Amino acid sequence: MPWRGPQYPGEFPSLGWSLLEWWADFLPAPSDPDAPLLLTDEQARLVVRWWALDPVTGALRYRRGCSRRSKGWGKSPLEAAKALAELAGPVRFAGWDARGDPVGRPWGTAGDPSPWVQIAACSEDQTDNTYGALYEALTANDGRAADDLRIDVGLTRCFLTDRPGRLEPVTASAGSREGQRVTYATLDETHLWLPSNGGRKLARTLRRNVAKMSGRSYETTNSYTPGERSVAEDTHKAADQGAAGLFYDAVEAPEVREDAPDTELRAALAVAYGDAHWVDLDRLVAEIRDPDTEWEEALRFFFNRPTDDRLKAVEAARWTALARPDIQVPHGARVGLGFDGSISDDATALRGCVLLHGKPHTFVIRVWTRPPNAPRGWRIPRTEVHETVAWAFDHYQVGLMLCDPAKWHTEIEGWAQAYGEDRVVFFDTNSLIRMSRACDRWLTAVAEGAYSHDGDPVTTDHVLAMHRKKVHVRDADDDGRTKYVFVKGPDRRKIDAGISDVLALQAAVTMPDQPPAADPWALYG
């Protein structure tokens, strides 16, 4: 396709157009060895953008790239074609033809270094994703493509037969790869490239190697798990920060809930998969609905949405809909209390819960957070906390107060002595069985609308920062459902008031019918 010049906004010269023809000339379609390889429109646009050139110098615009796409979209076959082009195709700028279109030449000609292409992954099985697709394309039809391109094809490597050049899958450590004269590197499944398996170090090594050869690298990946510090996550962050020379390709499905109807799931999948016509979306919906399929994994692999097993505890719209700031809890109301304390960095929170016609309503009593300009060494004002607890027991009929003992063990023991050991009870939020029950009760109440809250802004911020973390526990009450506890998300925002809300609800629905007598001022003599 002729490039008409910079006077046409949005147009740019690219070697991608000639590569689309090159693949069609030499490679068979994966589904039909007798048909030429023809990319979808979406894949073709990606190729044209990846091989975009500076209209003045002819230099390639991008030094590294990444495709984060849904499972089955066709990342590996496309990357196999790209790797083969880097070995034997016209991927180097050689000038302009009479129509003004760019002309390419292969590596190893006109003084360029010989091509050395590496397909890298963390395991041999992963390299098979791309190298296997390349091997099949070259050996189809009795090896016609390999013969035409003069390539000696092996199970573990390819060599050019008319000039120096090699292509190989690699899984070795970063140290053994340092300094190799690689001209192109494929980094496959980089959501699995972690600090723990040397993936991040290997990625840096490969990029250094191709940089010194004026080569390029390209990642393929499914959506990553936030917080794992994978190469895929690093690359996404770099793209968001506008890293120069980084090409980033990703299409996410729109946000969709697990309980959405199948038609909505299918529509969301259609966005993520685009024109990948070989994907049976109805089959994917059935797989997503399978009881053994984890929703978080479905979001990552099928909907192409970066997530982990720490999904938000509640969506903002749902939480807002449950707010009832008009409810005023009267003096003397029978309530449960939830307390989650810290020393300095996290917040300390005390929330209450009253049952109105059997429906729980939670409300703030006090939340202490570190002030923005607090001096070094600032601590939660414990005297204020003591006074607030005393006020709560004086103002309400407290049936039960559940307290996370972390960092407040001594104080909680004192409250138990003052107000009754059966009314002030330790509740270790690190106990997976107890905490998962409390979180399950809270999630159920929120999901069913059998719950309301006062709309306190600090608590709202903490609740919306809570994430569900899947836990594997079995107890006498096990009903076969997935269990969760609430934790901080990758952004590490505070969640203490949210946890105290969970404890307050748990206290209100499990407190005894009648409060025991107690002297609320005993602690202060």
The pLDDT value recorded for residue 519 is: 37
Q: What is the pLDDT of residues 79-116, one digit of tens each?
A: 999 999 999 999 999 999 988 899 999 999 988 999 99
CB 386 within 8 A of CB 517: no
The pLDDT value recorded for residue 516 is: 43
Tokens of 14: 């690219």
The pLDDT value recorded for residue 333 is: 96
Query: What's the angle, vertex CA 476, arms to CA 446 and CA 489, rounded to 5?
Result: 40
Among 400, 407, 390, CA closest to 425: 400
The pLDDT value recorded for residue 523 is: 28
More confident residue, 361 or 523: 361
SS3 468: strand
Nearest-angstrom CA–CA distance, 502 and 362: 9
Dihedral sign for Cα atoms in the order 396, 398, 403, 408: positive
Could you give the residue ranges of the DSSP H alpha helices within 243-302? 262-273, 281-289, 295-301
Among 390, 370, 392, 391, CA closest to 381: 370
The pLDDT value recorded for residue 338 is: 98
Tokens of 320: 């807002």
**Could you identify the residue written with the tokens 């391109």?**
149
pLDDT over 90 percentage in the chain: 75
Q: Find the mean pLDDT for residues 213-236.
A: 93
Q: What is the pLDDT of residues 37-59, one digit of tens each?
A: 999 999 999 999 999 999 989 99
Q: What is the pLDDT of residues 136-165, one digit of tens each?
A: 999 999 999 999 999 999 999 999 999 999
The yes-or-no verdict on residue 475 having pLDDT over 90 is no
Q: Burial of 176 by CB count in 10 Å (0-12 exposed, 13-18 middle, 19+ buried)?
A: exposed
Mean pLDDT across the chain, nearest whole number? 91
H/E element, 452: strand 452-453
CB 202 within 8 A of CB 173: yes
The yes-or-no verdict on residue 521 having pLDDT over 90 is no
Q: What domains are defined for the chain?
A: 62-91+108-250 (3.40.50.300), 262-308 (no CATH), 316-524 (3.30.420.240)
Partners of residue 28 on adjacent β-strands: 36
CB 385 within 8 A of CB 368: yes
CB 186 within 8 A of CB 130: yes
Among 35, 32, 27, CA closest to 134: 27
The yes-or-no verdict on residue 283 having pLDDT over 80 is yes
> What's the pTM value of the predicted model, to 2 decimals?
0.66
